[in-house]
Amino acid sequence: MFNIRVMTLDDYDAVMDLMRKTPGISLRDADSRESTSRYLQRNPDMSFVVEIDGTLGGCVMCGHDGRRGYLQHLLVLPDYRGQGIAHALVDRCLSSLEGQGIVKCHLDVFKTNEAAARFWQRQGWQLREDIDRYSFIRSGNGNA
Ligand SMILES: CC(C)(COP(=O)(O)OP(=O)(O)OC[C@H]1O[C@@H](n2cnc3c(N)ncnc32)[C@H](O)[C@@H]1OP(=O)(O)O)[C@@H](O)C(=O)NCCC(=O)NCCS
């Protein structure tokens, strides 16, 4: 049985550890403790971790800009996959967004992450062919 609970800054080290171990998840300077603290404060009760037999087995981070939701860093450790945990984590995020009046959510997936693409499409998420994402880094820092 798994237990999903709200992620707090106390989970930071364990969550970063999960992410470092997981191919398909990329960590940036924006994942520093300071940035994560700011993110969790700006988006309270929208990011979640899952505990299975006392172990942190997965996580997801979610936030919004007032109009649209954004979902990041969904992962479930390999031993616990295929039990509906990711589905449940995403559902918690979407419910939290809906509670704030936000019914549309976006996410980015590396084009090389084919398993993630299959997962999202199976979950009913629409692959956007009609838009390109543009990014600009003001600091000149390539890992921002
Ligand atoms: C993608 C990931 C989060 C799925 O976690 P999970 O807990 O195994 O997923 P679930 O058990 O909730 O699966 C839900 C549904 O998606 C399907 N699914 C899950 N992974 C899938 C895959 N690789 N290919 C096809 N379908 C998949 C399941 O069969 C299930 O379908 P069903 O409800 O019709 O039976 C997990 O594989 C993972 O952590 N991958 C590495 C990190 C990553 O790439 N994250 C996404 C970055 S955007």
Over residues 66-81, the pLDDT tens digits come to 999 999 999 999 999 9
Verify whether ligand 1 is closer than 6 Å to residue 22 (CB atom). yes
What pLDDT score does 142 carry?
Answer: 72
Instruction: Kindly state if the Cβ of 74 falls inside 6 Å of ligand 1.
Output: yes
User: Tens of pLDDT along 47-59?
Assistant: 999 999 999 999 9
Length of the chain: 144
* Cα(132)–Cα(55) distance, integer angstroms: 38
- Band of pLDDT at residue 111, cut at 50, 70 and 90: very high
Going by C-alpha positions, the residue among 47, 43, 69, 70 that lies closest to residue 59 is 47
| Structural domains of the chain, with CATH | 2-122 (3.40.630.30)
113 close to ligand 1 (CB < 6 Angstrom): yes
Sign of the torsion angle spanned by Cα atoms 10, 13, 17, 23: positive
Give me the pLDDT at residue 74, please: 97
The answer, yes or no, to whether any atom of ligand 1 lies below 6 A from the CB of 46, is no
Q: Rounded to two decimals, what is the model's pTM?
A: 0.93
Round to whole Å and give the CA distance between 32 and 68.
23
Q: Over 80: is that where the pLDDT of 140 sits?
A: no
Give the nearest ligand 1 atom to 76 CA.
Answer: 39
Per-residue pLDDT, 141: 75
The mean pLDDT of 106-126, rounded to a whole number, is: 96
CB 143 within 8 A of CB 29: yes
